[in-house]
Amino acid sequence: MTQLDLFAASPTPSAGPTVPTMAFVRARLNAILNPLRAASTPIWSARELAKFKVIVPQMAGWLPPEERDAVRQEFAGLVAALASPSD
């Protein structure tokens, strides 16, 4: 390898950041929410729960306002229901 090989042209840069499609966002959110919907006890560690408490509201932000609010509300309700001790 010669010294000039170290300065070879870099690969062409990507077209830039991509915007997720509604179908992709909905699928990812459903992949997170479905296990919560089916659970009767907490399914995540405290660390995972903290991560999803950030991810879900941000990801839902890509949805139309009514759907965004419904997803955020459902997520919060499911998390609260699993966190509270059942009698």
With respect to residue 32, please indicate whether it lies within any of the assigned structural domains.
no
pLDDT tens digits, 41-84: 999 999 999 999 999 999 999 999 999 999 999 999 999 999 88
With respect to residue 54, please indicate whether it lies within any of the assigned structural domains.
yes
User: What pLDDT does 17 receive?
Assistant: 78
pLDDT tens digits, 24-34: 999 999 999 99
- CA–CA distance, 76 with 40 (Å, rounded to integer): 15
According to DSSP H, which parts of the chain are helical? 22-38, 46-60, 65-83
With respect to residue 2, please indicate whether it lies within any of the assigned structural domains.
no
User: What pLDDT does 12 receive?
Assistant: 65
With respect to residue 85, please indicate whether it lies within any of the assigned structural domains.
yes
Total domain count, the chain:
1
